[in-house]
Amino acid sequence: MVKAIPGKAVKRLTLYHYILSDCTRQNVEHISSQQIAGLLQIDDSQVRKDIALCQTSGRTNVGYKAAELKKAIEQALGFKEKKSAFIIGAGNLGRALARHTDFQDYGLDIVALFDTDPAKIDTLVNGRKVFHISELFHISTRENLVNKQKVEIAILTVPGAAAQKSAELLLQSQIKYIWNFTPAVLSVPDNIRVYNENLMGNFLDFTKN
């Protein structure tokens, strides 16, 4: 179902979900589109339009039922569909993402990490093993590791200078999506989708005023 929802709406709905999770934690039962819009400094007609993309029983005169709307967004965005990922680069950022507890709530399961540093190979990070990158092809096709589920997502956290070489190694695996946290632009075939997290671009953009 998530396929039918435009990218920008997916991002906004995720933010609404953060707000609704907060409501649940604080036992707030209802929330209005105006309240959500106010927190995000956007128009409340936009909020109502986005919510209409999810199947929900709708508003009452005191606003949306927070728990119900939260569940509807989870369903629409597919939080319950587990997606498996490898982390390529078991340095500081890679290890931090492997330990990121929020990921699992959103359906992202880190299966294994890869690195070239002998000191890191065979260590565990949050219960996940670090393999040598040369084992990628073997691991990515080994059924028992991934419960017969293909791993199609790679989270790239190597140094910028190693990013392109690492991306090329991924072509041997079943990876279809590269979530690129490195300061490098990757050259990959068209059948691989790359999302550039571009941390420095975001930083420079939002601090420019």
Q: Which residue's CB is nearer to a copy of itself, number 52 or number 161?
A: 161
Backbone dihedral angles phi then psi of residue 196, each to the nearest 5 degrees = -85, 110
Q: Which helix (H) or strand (E) holds 96?
A: helix 92-98
Relative to beta strand 153-156, strand 83-88 is parallel
What one-character DSSP code corresponds to residue 7? H
Asked whether position 204 contacts a copy of itself by CB under 8 A, the answer is yes
Sign of the C-alpha dihedral computed for residues 88, 92, 93 and 94 taken in this order: positive
Number of residues that bind a copy of itself (CB under 8 A): 62
**Least distance (Å) between residue 85 CB and a copy of itself:** 9
Asked whether position 171 contacts a copy of itself by CB under 8 A, the answer is no
Residues sharing a CB contact under 8 Å with residue 53, sequence separation 6 or more, in sequence order: 4, 5, 9, 13, 76
> Which residues inside 22-81 make contact with a copy of itself, applying CB under 8 A?
22, 25, 39-40, 77-78
Q: Which parts of this chain interact with a copy of itself (CB under 8 A)?
A: 2-3, 5, 7, 10-15, 18-19, 21-22, 25, 39-40, 77-78, 83, 91-93, 95-97, 99-103, 105-106, 108, 153, 159-161, 164, 177, 179, 183-187, 193, 195-209
